[in-house]
Amino acid sequence: MDAREHQDFKKEKERLEFTKNYIEIVLEAAEKSKSDYQGNIKQALVDLDYLDSSLSYVNVLANANMLQTTEKDLRNLRSIQNRPYFARIDFTPKDQSQEEKLYIGKTSLYKKDTREPVIVDWRSPIANVYYEGQLGDVSYEANGETLEGELSLKRQYVIEDNQLEEIRDIDLTARDQILQESLTTSASNRLKEIVSTIQAEQNRIIRADMDKPLIVQGVAGSGKTTIALHRMAYFIYTYAENFDPQQLMILAPNRLFLDYISDVLPELGVDQVTQTTFTDYVQGALGQSLNFISKDQKLIQLIENEESRELQWVSHFKGSLDFYHLLTEYMEYLIQDWIPSEDMKLERYTVFSAKKMKQLFFEEYTYLPPFKRLEKLKEMVKKQVKSKTTEIIEKVEEVYDRQIDKARYGIRDEEKRSQKTVALWDRKEAHVKKLEKEAKKLVPTFVRKMPKGDAFLYYQRLITQPKVVQQVAKNYLNKEEQKVFLEWNKQNKQEGKLDLEDAAPILYIQQAIYGIEKKWMFKNVFIDEAQDYSLFEFEVLKKACGTSLFTILGDLSQGIHSYRGINNWEDVTEYIFPKATYLTLKQSYRSTVEIMEVANKLMQLQPYKGMILAEPVVRHDKAPEAMAYSDSKGAITKIIQQIHEMKGENYQSFAIIGKTTEDCERIYRSIEELDPKLEAALLKEDEENYHHDVVIVPSYLSKGLEFDVVFIMTMDKAFEETELDIKLLYVAMTRGLHRLNVYYDQMYPGIMKKIF
Ligand SMILES: Nc1ncnc2c1ncn2[C@@H]1O[C@H](COP(=O)(O)OP(=O)(O)OP(=O)(O)O)[C@@H](O)[C@H]1O
């Protein structure tokens, strides 16, 4: 209700005033202390010039740290200055009579003297009561303890520019009005934070046990991406003391998507986390750039039906755990002759026995990856050569000395004696020199024989050399399959490219043989659009990152890459993350009831059962319309006209989704010709932004994005009733928040006839 009409308006207004003033005082104080720190640093730097004192260096560091915290606090406080909190709870802890009135906001603020909270952070344990609790008895966890109490008030505020606009008390029956309003607003080109409207099922995911892997199946628009980012923010807050945000990594499907989420990260204070795509991660960890065919390029081939049977089979095999086991065997095969089979000798003396080397390499050093073992062994060889050479030379010298003594005391004739001893001396000297020379060659010879390949080369050898394939793949592929496999890879090699599915095995070889550099290892990994990953990819990420603490979010209904990815979550839990918690999100927040009805109707045409259908939050707009056209230019003219009309109705973001890139290019060219003033952009996979009036995007690339109004337009290649096409169309349909209109060629209606 309008804040002014609420019975507590006066008190709430005073409270807001107080908070506003308090923030101002804190900000002023912080500004002052900031300039003090800056002064201190300046002084310390001056001292550093003429004092050789590590103390002043420490001083610089200490103040720089202080400055950093202050800067961070300042930033946080400034960001909430106009809207310090969004909710209040009244909570009475069990066995206490004093009720606490807690105001919840995006960051916490305490009174300096009493430590009484002015604002409670939304991530704090007690705030859980706001997201989860209904009025009455409630409980929450803090520091491993369950705390109980009574929740007597749950209140929401709409505050704009520090003015209290609305106050809403939530009782058992009230619908979440603020959520409704938040969903009605237009989609900008960016994802937004939702701290004030997080729903209970989402809250459970955000706060789910951080010490266990988490798998989330969530329908389209259920907030998976949003929640992933909020869970990161929660994680960083909860473990602030002993956790560096850089130890978190989020893997997104492409760079376009990273750009889409980029604004919300700093808002949530999680901008320091590593954000990348799977292939960029692999190339980073390898320190090498490789030419992968993107999964979208592959999908285009699939949609266009070129070579599709082999493509699906090879991609599927390369993503399977069978291939993973094959790789494991291959690496054993590969390293078996890394250790020489003959002893390292200096003349007839053994410097390092092959048996000892084998024992070190295959037994003692197995805690290291093989290449590191070799390096360790090299160091060992160096030391051994040094000490053994001295030992051997001493032995040889002893033999000569004995002979010299024998000559000295056994030959009576002086001349003969002298000749003999001199000859022996010369021989001794020459022999020692020879030994020294030979000894010098031992380490370089050993090093020369060390394997010179790298992960990529070893992998190429495995997938393109018939002898290796025959030897290693015989337990996994029959002769015919081996042939297809080899030919496929040979073709790729000739074209200088790699399948996307090659990324995981190359990373596996890197990890298993060379090890992964520390900066590419993480404590916690988040994967969005995880339905597109294969079991092999999950497994290798777990190994390379050195953790099993993954948060995996995906939607099988949108699994347009399921020919290479997964078809169910059970396999992921069974084979990769046996300890994972599995949670689902059924509510969809993005699209209207009308759009979701059509999308669900489409989903039910899937050949297999058991798909979780989305339940939209009750929000209405015009029902989707479908139009069969006979002339594509005419249809595009109509779309342009509708865009102009809807812009007048306050819809802001528009997308035209085509089935293929080719269709999108045709649409784009037509728009340029028909309405050059309309700012249109054709989206590509590696695009980093899409700030335009209208974007034209192929169905497979639209995944994860959202727009106020979506037009779907097909040409001579209709969406058909196949698993892939149904999923592609489902993804396209569920991108719209408010309106969806479909245009298809009347000669090629495909599946549209069944749903409209
Ligand atoms: N609790 C919420 N309050 C307000 N808005 C929400 C809430 N949850 C989700 N949304 C909004 O719903 C939309 C969909 O969210 P998001 O893109 O995170 O969903 P998703 O599950 O990743 O979708 P998809 O799988 O279809 O790409 C976004 O606009 C998001 O801001």
ipTM attached to this prediction: 0.99
CA dihedral 683, 614, 213, 207 (to 10 degrees): 100
pLDDT number for residue 47: 58
pLDDT more than 70, % of the chain: 92
Task: Give the pair of three-digit tokens for residue 81.
Answer: 């200055």
Cα separation, 168 vs 198, whole angstroms: 16
CA of 695 to the centre of ligand 1 (A): 20
Q: Find out whether 255 and 690 touch, Cβ atoms under 8 Å.
A: no
Ligand 1 atom closest to the CA of 222, numbered from 1: 21
Residues 169-195 have pLDDT tens digits of: 887 555 567 777 777 776 666 678 899
Ligand-binding site membership of 224 (annotated): yes
Buried b (16+ CB within 10 A) or exposed e, 609-648: eeebebebbebebeebebbbbeebeebbeebbebbeebbe
pLDDT number for residue 186: 62
Other C-beta atoms closer than 10 Å to the C-beta of 225 total 23
pLDDT number for residue 45: 55
Q: Find out whether 121 and 115 touch, Cβ atoms under 8 Å.
A: no
Mutate to test the pocket of ligand 1, among 158, 190, 226, 733 (most ligand atoms within 8 A of CB): 226
Q: Looking at beta carbons, which pairs linking 285-290 to residues 24 or more positions away fall under 8 Å? A: 285/507, 285/510, 285/511, 285/516, 285/517, 285/520, 285/544, 286/455, 286/456, 286/506, 286/507, 286/510, 287/517, 288/454, 288/456, 290/456, 290/498, 290/503, 290/506
**Angle, CA of 141, 144 and 150, to the nearest 5°:** 25
For ligand 1, say whether the CB of 595 is within 6 Å of any of its atoms.
no
Cα separation, 501 vs 314, whole angstroms: 9
Q: Looking at beta carbons, which pairs linking 124-132 to residues 24 or more positions away fall under 8 Å? A: 124/237, 126/89, 126/91, 126/102, 127/89, 127/102, 128/203, 128/207, 129/89, 129/91, 130/87, 130/89, 130/104, 130/154, 131/198, 131/199, 131/200, 131/203, 132/200, 132/203, 132/204
For ligand 1, say whether the CB of 225 is within 6 Å of any of its atoms.
yes
Question: What is the β-pairing status of strands 214-218 and 248-252?
Answer: unpaired
Ligand-binding site membership of 3 (annotated): no
CA of 647 to the centre of ligand 1 (A): 23
Q: Is this prediction's pTM over 0.90?
A: no
Which residue positions in the chain have pLDDT lower than 70? 34, 37-70, 172-176, 186-190, 304-307, 608-610, 685-691
Amino acid at 505: P
For ligand 1, say whether the CB of 591 is within 6 Å of any of its atoms.
no
For ligand 1, say whether the CB of 224 is within 6 Å of any of its atoms.
yes
CA of 711 to the centre of ligand 1 (A): 20
Task: Give the pair of three-digit tokens for residue 284.
Answer: 């980073």
For ligand 1, say whether the CB of 199 is within 6 Å of any of its atoms.
yes
CA of 559 to the centre of ligand 1 (A): 18
- Residues whose CB falls within 8 Å of the CB of residue 744, separated by 6 or more in sequence, listed in order: 626, 627, 628, 629, 713, 714, 718, 750, 752
pLDDT number for residue 226: 93
Task: Give the pair of three-digit tokens for residue 492.
Answer: 């790729």
Taking CA atoms only, the protein residue closest to ligand 1 atom 18 is: 223
CA dihedral 529, 533, 538, 544 (to 10 degrees): -90
Question: What is the β-pairing status of strands 87-93 and 145-160?
Answer: antiparallel
Residues 61-107 have pLDDT tens digits of: 555 554 444 677 778 888 888 899 999 999 999 988 889 999 999 98
The continuous run of DSSP H or E covering 260 comes out as: helix 255-261
Q: Find out whether 645 and 179 touch, Cβ atoms under 8 Å.
A: no
Give the residue ranges of DSSP H helices in 272-365: 278-286, 295-304, 308-318, 321-335, 354-359
